[in-house]
A and B are shown apart, each in its own frame.
Chain A
Amino acid sequence: MGKNVDVLQGTLNLLILKAISLGPLHGYAVLLRIQQLSGERMEIQQGTLYPALYRLEHQGLIRGTWGESENNRKAKFYTLTPAGRRQFAAEQQKWEALAEVIARILGADAATALAAEAKA
């Protein structure tokens, strides 16, 4: 198991939306899902999860409904709303673009830099 990574600032919402986009989840399951998707390398602070959920629900991106959990307990399940789905797609695109740019910058060496300059 590799080293744990911290949640990058501003990405928690995206992670939550991703987790929920795969199917309705209750709060605790969101934690577990993110943990599992990260290959157990990322652990979300429990204290920050719920405020993020409250915010997303307030913005109308997710909707909470009460249902029964795996062990027959009453739990609040979150699903993506249509607005949430659109928002998730947009955020994901933005993130991928950003990641690509950052990866290119970080991966550059002297030769590619010179080539880029000559092109300009």
Chain B
Amino acid sequence: MSLLQKMRSSLKTLLFRQAAAREIEEELHFHLEAHTADLLAKGVPEQEARRRARVDLGLPRQHAEMHRTVVGLQLLDETLADLRYGLRGLWRNKPFALTAILSLAIGIGAATAMFSVVYAVLLDVYPYADSDRTVNPIIHDPNVPDDWNWFVLNREQYAQYKAAPFFEDVFAQGGMGMQVDDNDVQQPLHITLLSGNASAFHRVPALLGRTLQPSDGDFGDKPSNIAVLGYKFWKSHYFGDKGVVGRDLKAGSNIFRIVGVMPERFTLGGAPDLYMPISQFPFPNGHYIAFAKLKPGVTPQQASAMLDPMIHQFAKAEPQFYPKQFHVRLQPLIEGFTARSKLLKNFPLLYFAVSALLLIGCGNCSLLLLARGTTRVHEFALRSAVGASRARIVRQLLVECLTISLLGSMLGVGLAYLLARLPLQLAADLFPTEAVIRINGTILAFSILIAVCAGLFFGLLPAMKYSRPQISNMLNANGRRTIASGGKGVLQVLIAAQIALTLVLLTVSTAAVGGFLRLMRMHLGYDPSNTMALYVGLGKGFAPTWAERAALAGSMKQAIETVPGVLSAAIADDFPPAGGGMSQFQLLGEENLGRDTRYTSVSPDYFKTLRISILRGRTPTEAEWRAGIPLAVVNETFVRRFSPHRDVLDRTLRTPALSTATDDMNNPQGRTFSPALKDQQIRIIGVSADAVNDGLDKTVAPNLYVNSTAAMYGFFPFVVRTRTDSHAYEHDVAHAIHQLGAKNFITVVPQSLQEMVEHENVWRTQRLVAVLLSIFAMGALVLSLVGLYSVVAYVVAQRTSEFGIRIALGAQRTGVLLLVLQSNAAVIVGGTFAGILLSLIVRSRFAQWSEYSSRSSLNILYAALLLGLAATTASLLPAFRASRVEPAIALRAE
């Protein structure tokens, strides 16, 4: 009760500071009046009476202070005074304050941003309920290590799968495409179909309207023609209109009622445009992907082992969907991302970089505090001499350090916010579609804690040392304003450490940038500049026979080629740098069929269009193409691997890819075969140079380029080379095709082949890593140079009088310059050597993680030279100033 009373009394004074002060003043005023009146009554003259009353009572201000001390507010008052004093000091010394605060901000910002990204993509990715127990249906072919495949189930199989006792729940997902009319351009729509229980499985509420419900249609129900919008589609197509629920969406010849919009992070099925009930799926014998939620306590390994017999039984019934040998490997949801991410391999390097940057930032701040502290010895001595206790001096420094740390942290949060958005902006497709990167509170708190601790430690170091100084020593003329030598050692170690860390960051980032440049200049074997790829689909039932399609292909190609600015056009069902399908084949005269090659359908001018050189033999003629003669060109790798000893030209191969039995069941438009095709046989008539066909990061795969008219689908994929940037010709090319019969064609928005290269996972990863590391390294370089500069400048300022004396005694100005440089040379050289050593260690440690980085040792040398030069310059500037000291002015400054 008494404690409560005290707290109330303290709080009252704290909150009503003015009122409390006034009360005290009034009380004392009354006291003075009463006392004076008494003295007057005793016959003391008025002036004397007033004087004696005041003397007896003492200073009113002292009473007010005493009152605050009594009610326990002294600490607060003193701290506020310290804060004011500290802020005034910082304001007076703006460059120092700014540098210290910025150093911390950059370190905290980078570290918080980076680790927040990691948290968002690795630890808190999915918004779905129990996502840690949800597994992808994956099979693994032991003959193809490091690769895995999804398996799909038909309706009966799905029912059997769903009934497995170790699954808590299973939902089915299918996919299909439609077109939507968007300003007269047919845009493809990606639609994910979900079984009725999917909403209950994920438990993610809709952003607007509602999610799909079982009553909307499950397997075998009549299509209900409703749709739920994906977030991105809602933003891009409806511009985020909140009144969209209840409206109709026309897609193809169908009209769908919009019943809801999903939130941003719900991107099941690869961020499709629309979600629809599974009853909408047009193919009764279609296949679905079945995602399962394991019962608690069941591991994916156990479930996989128990499922294995079931899936092998499915594979017997539908062998075309499975490799010859496989194991079931149910895969936790997150591994679908982590197992293939190239970015992930670079994460350790990025962790290292931001940690180094945070250290450099803290180090810089510490350097400045230390340098400033050691020059304040005089001030501490003076304060101590007039009665400041040691605790009081330490506390005052503590408040100053905290002020800097907190200001730096606040700025760091802002920086982190900007930086954390960068990865998603540069390369959104490297991250799971569900990932939304936010600044993580815990990580932020941790970074700030590190920064504050560093600030406190190095800020207090001089305080602890000099708060009980030998006053006489410090105040006497000789010891005046010198750097205390004890602080200097720590200072030098800090600088050297900073230089070393900066050097490591520089080498790491130059290696990453070098690796990226190499990737950009990589020999692709084809020329992706000024080329585009586009699909033209045929309307249902249009040109159903082979002859009609072959004729149409020819006239379409011609129509495209007549567009002004188009240099050449060719049919190609695969666009480099990533390839499409693989096919088995058998070279006639050899036994084995079990060989795989990439199979690409092309028209003869494909090689001219992509500038792939023909090394031997020839390409088919126009007449042979039109007639559908089954001829093929193979690449060098094909020759090397499959026909190293026998001339490949004029050899014939047989491939089940051209058999009607393996026709894709999901393609309603079917395939038609050339009348010239006999027994699935193709004759090889040419050899082309290798062109990248399996992604930028893999070696070229064997490739069979078959005359596209040998077998024709109901759609025509084209590659078109244009005179300048292909984007400029997109409209003209689409227009030319549509003139052949607009109603019957569906043109998909063209893509530039150059952009396809740039969309490659490895390309984007490398670019992102290079950009991030460059930012970090530049930050580190700037920080350590500024740190070095300010420390040298401090030291020089302290030694001004010494330089003045030296010059007055006849020292050469260059001599003074050298003197300053010399005092830093050891630190710079030492730091650089430590940095080189550390770089070598880091490189060997990180070699396996950053496989595309340049490994040349020259990098380290260049970085060391650059850093050495920059560091010398940074210390040269203040040194130069020292050499210009006018003796008279320097001595008078004392």
State the A residues within 8 Å of B (CB): 26-28, 46-47, 50-51, 54-55, 57-60, 69, 71, 73-76, 83
5 A-B pairs with least C-beta separation: A60-B5, A47-B58, A28-B34, A54-B70, A46-B56
| Interface pair A69/B30, CB less than 8 Å apart | yes
Question: Whole-angstrom distance between the alpha carbons of A71 and B28 in the complex?
Answer: 16
| Interface pair A28/B71, CB less than 8 Å apart | no
| Interface pair A27/B6, CB less than 8 Å apart | no
Across the interface, A51 reaches (CB within 8 A) one of B34, B37, B56, B66, namely B66
B56-84: contact bitstring with A at CB < 8 Å (1 yes, 0 no)?
11100011001100111000000000000
| Interface pair B71/A58, CB less than 8 Å apart | yes
B8: nearest residue on chain A (CB-CB)? A60
B33: nearest residue on chain A (CB-CB)? A73
Across the interface, B23 reaches (CB within 8 A) one of A60, A73, A76, A83, namely A76
With A47-B58, A51-B66 as known contacts, state yes or no: A59 contacts B2, CB within 8 Å: yes
Across the interface, B27 reaches (CB within 8 A) one of A27, A46, A58, A83, namely A27
| Interface pair A26/B66, CB less than 8 Å apart | no
Across the interface, B30 reaches (CB within 8 A) one of A46, A58, A59, A74, namely A74
- Quick check: is B316 within 8 A (CB to CB) of the other chain? no
B67: nearest residue on chain A (CB-CB)? A54
Question: Which chain B residues lie closer than 8 Å to A59 at the CB level?
Answer: 2, 5-6
B62: nearest residue on chain A (CB-CB)? A47
Question: Whole-angstrom distance between the alpha carbons of A71 and B23 in the complex?
Answer: 19
Question: Which chain A residues lie closer than 8 Å to B5 at the CB level?
Answer: 59-60, 83
| Interface pair A50/B63, CB less than 8 Å apart | yes
With A46-B57, A59-B2, A60-B5 as known contacts, state yes or no: A51 contacts B70, CB within 8 Å: yes
Question: Which chain B residues lie closer than 8 Å to A51 at the CB level?
Answer: 63, 66-67, 70
With A60-B5, A69-B34, A83-B2 as known contacts, state yes or no: A54 contacts B71, CB within 8 Å: yes
Q: Known pairs A50-B66, A75-B30; list 14 more (Cβ under 8 Å).
A: A26-B31, A26-B34, A47-B57, A47-B58, A50-B27, A50-B67, A51-B70, A54-B66, A58-B9, A76-B23, A76-B27, A76-B30, A83-B1, A83-B2
B1-20: contact bitstring with A at CB < 8 Å (1 yes, 0 no)?
11001100110000000000
25 contacts between A and B (CB under 8 A): A26-B27, A26-B31, A26-B34, A27-B31, A28-B31, A46-B35, A46-B57, A47-B56, A47-B62, A50-B24, A50-B27, A51-B63, A51-B67, A54-B67, A54-B70, A59-B6, A60-B2, A60-B5, A71-B37, A73-B33, A73-B34, A74-B30, A75-B27, A75-B30, A76-B23
Question: Whole-angstrom distance between the alpha carbons of A58 and B67 in the complex?
Answer: 9
Question: Whole-angstrom distance between the alpha carbons of A26 and B70 in the complex?
Answer: 19
Q: Nearest chain A CB to B32's CB is how many angstroms away?
A: 9
Q: Nearest chain A CB to B721's CB is how many angstroms away?
A: 90
B35: nearest residue on chain A (CB-CB)? A28
| Interface pair B28/A58, CB less than 8 Å apart | no
Question: Whole-angstrom distance between the alpha carbons of A76 and B27 in the complex?
Answer: 6
Question: Which chain A residues lie closer than 8 Å to B318 at the CB level?
Answer: none
Question: Which chain A residues lie closer than 8 Å to B35 at the CB level?
Answer: 28, 46
- Quick check: is B26 within 8 A (CB to CB) of the other chain? yes
Of listed B24, B35, B67, residue having the most chain A CB within 10 A: B67
B28: nearest residue on chain A (CB-CB)? A50
Question: Whole-angstrom distance between the alpha carbons of A47 and B71 in the complex?
Answer: 17
| Interface pair A46/B58, CB less than 8 Å apart | yes
| Interface pair A57/B9, CB less than 8 Å apart | yes
Question: Which chain A residues lie closer than 8 Å to B31 at the CB level?
Answer: 26-28, 46
